[in-house]
Structures are given as structure tokens and as C-alpha cells.
Amino acid sequence: MPALALTLALTLSACGFHLRGDGGSYTLPFPTIYVGLPKASPLAVDLKRNIRANGATEVVDDPKLADASIIVLTDPDKTRTKTILSLNGNGRVRQYLLIYQILFKVVDQQGNELLAPTALNLNRPIDFDETQLLAKEREEAVLYKDMQTDLVQQMMRRLAAIKPKVAMSLAPDHPVVVPPSAPALKQ
């Protein structure tokens, strides 16, 4: 029996199989990238953290300096919804459906589309009990956070799959820091 398990494990690892949640390291094809979401957006913070974690791509604050830009067409922080999924015999809500979605595209410095508008839609059912309002609010927040994490992982997989049509710039080895005493350039 141990020999069969070892053979199966070696076969799966040899074909490149890995579990979806095995660390989520993705090699992005861009030295620099711009994330077109508000800086305070929880999704932006999570996405930028995941991009930086891969180590090879630098997140920049100006789309003009980026080899690729993520253009968000619908902000999931503003469009997430909660709809009634089912009612009980008294006509009261028994279940809600939480929906978290985003529509985004990726363009290069010249505005060429590297990834066509892509919609990611996630939903989770949640049971409702009016006698446990605080617990259900917390459960809803946890489900939205879980959907956000899943959304970021799906976006990372799509970004990693992009094949740029032109050569990208080289990212600096270390961030360029301008001393605060340096005079500002006039345009």
C-alpha cells in the first residue's frame, strides 16, 4: 500500500499537478504593473500584496510608468450585492445569496489590450436567522473576505497567463527613492 501511495504521489508531481491553494505563487510577465483601484480599497491592498509577494513584479502608482495596467471596469467594493435566495413558510428570509463580482482588463503602456474585459463572479449562500443578527453580520463579512481572497487568486492566475506581444522594460533592482529635500521638477 505505501508503494502505491508513493507511486501516485510521484506521478502527480511529475505531471505538474499541484493543489490550487498551495501558496499561490505566480510568475507575472510584467516587470512593473499598475492596479487601477482606489488605494484604500481592500481588494487593491490584497491584490498589490499578492503581486509583490511573487517578487518579480513591482507595483507602481503611475500607469505611465507601468508595463501593464489593470483597468477595473466595475469596482467590486461598490457592486457587491446581497439578494434573497429563499423564504420560509411565514414569508421571512431564510437564505441570502452574497454576490461579489469584478469586470477588468489589462492593457500595456501603448494601450494595447493584453487581456480582454474579463468578468469574475463569485457567490455564496448564507442562512439567515433574525435572532442572531450580530453573528450573521460577522458571518457575512467573513464570506465577503473569503470571496475577495478567491477573487484575487483568480485575477493572479489570469495575469500570469498573459503573453505580452512586445518586450517589457526592465524593473529597477531596487526602488528609486527621491530625498525629501530634492527640488520638485516643474512641468
d(CA 127, CA 29): 42
Query: What is residue 9's predicted lDDT score, i.e. its pLDDT?
Result: 59
DSSP 37: S
Q: How do 68-74 and 81-87 pair as beta strands?
A: unpaired
Residue 113: beta bridge partners? 107
Where does the pLDDT of residue 102 fall: very low under 50, low under 70, confident under 90, or very high at 90 and above?
very high
pTM for the whole thing? 0.72
Burial 33-60 (b: 16+ CB within 10 A, else e): bbbbbeeebebbbbbbebbeeeeebbbb
Rounded percentage of the chain residues whose pLDDT exceeds 90: 60
Where does the pLDDT of residue 112 fall: very low under 50, low under 70, confident under 90, or very high at 90 and above?
very high
Nearest Cα to Cα of residue 75 among 108, 38, 124: 38
Mean pLDDT of 140-153: 94
Rounded to the nearest 5 percent, the helix, strand and coil shares of the chain are 35, 30, 40
Nearest Cα to Cα of residue 160 among 59, 57, 26, 23: 26
Query: What is residue 43's predicted lDDT score, i.e. its pLDDT?
Result: 92
pLDDT at 113 over 80: yes
Nearest Cα to Cα of residue 166 among 89, 117, 111: 111
Longest dimension (CA), the chain: 74
Query: What is residue 177's predicted lDDT score, i.e. its pLDDT?
Result: 47
d(CA 9, CA 12): 5
Query: What is residue 164's predicted lDDT score, i.e. its pLDDT?
Result: 77
